[in-house]
Structure formats: C-alpha cells, structure tokens
C-alpha cells in the first residue's frame, strides 16, 4: 500500500474509542536499513493553530480499512 492511499484515513484507538487524527496530517518513522515503518506521527491541530502530535507504534495498528485505521494501544 502506498502512502497516498493512507493519507485521508482517520486513526481511531479502539480501546479508548477515541479519534486520534487524520493520517494526511501525519509523518512516518521509517527504519533506514530495512525500510520498515516503525511508527505513525499524527498531528492534531487545536485552537489558535496549536499543534500536538501523537506517536503510534506500527505494531499497534490492527486494521487498515477503507476509511479508517484502527489501532489498539
């Protein structure tokens, strides 16, 4: 799967029932030796253009669906 296919998906933590953000506003941490994705960094925009980021380990990704990515921390 290419990154552009992930870009519009919403990330949801199924244990907390919480929306974490949209992947299009995110970054990836990639192991330079293997090319393996290590984590997703989801940027959330708050009031007054403040930004917070949530780091999600790739091992927490349970399902990548058509519209959402479900994680379980």
> Hey, what are 1's tokens?
């799967």
Does 52 score more than 90 pLDDT? no
Cβ proximity of 41 and 53 under 8 Å: yes
14 three-state secondary structure: coil
Distance, CA of 28 to CA of 39 (rounded, Å):
6
Residue 4 C-alpha from the chain's centroid: 13
pLDDT at residue number 27: 80
Q: What is the CATH number of the domain that holds 11?
A: 2.30.30.240
pLDDT at residue number 48: 66
pTM: 0.75
Give the number of domains in the chain: 1
Distance, CA of 46 to CA of 49 (rounded, Å):
6
DSSP 23: G
Q: Which domain holds residue 64?
A: 3-71
pLDDT at residue number 50: 60
Per-residue pLDDT tens over the stretch 8-50: 788 899 999 998 887 776 788 999 999 999 998 887 766 666 6
């Amino acid at each position: 799967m290419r990154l552009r296919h992930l870009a519009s998906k919403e990330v949801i933590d199924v244990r907390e029932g919480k929306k974490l953000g949209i992947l299009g506003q995110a970054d990836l941490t990639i192991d330079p030796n293997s090319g393996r994705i290590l984590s997703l960094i989801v940027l959330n925009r708050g009031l007054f253009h403040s930004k917070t980021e949530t780091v999600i380990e790739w091992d927490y990704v349970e399902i990548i669906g058509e519209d959402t990515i479900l994680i379980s921390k």
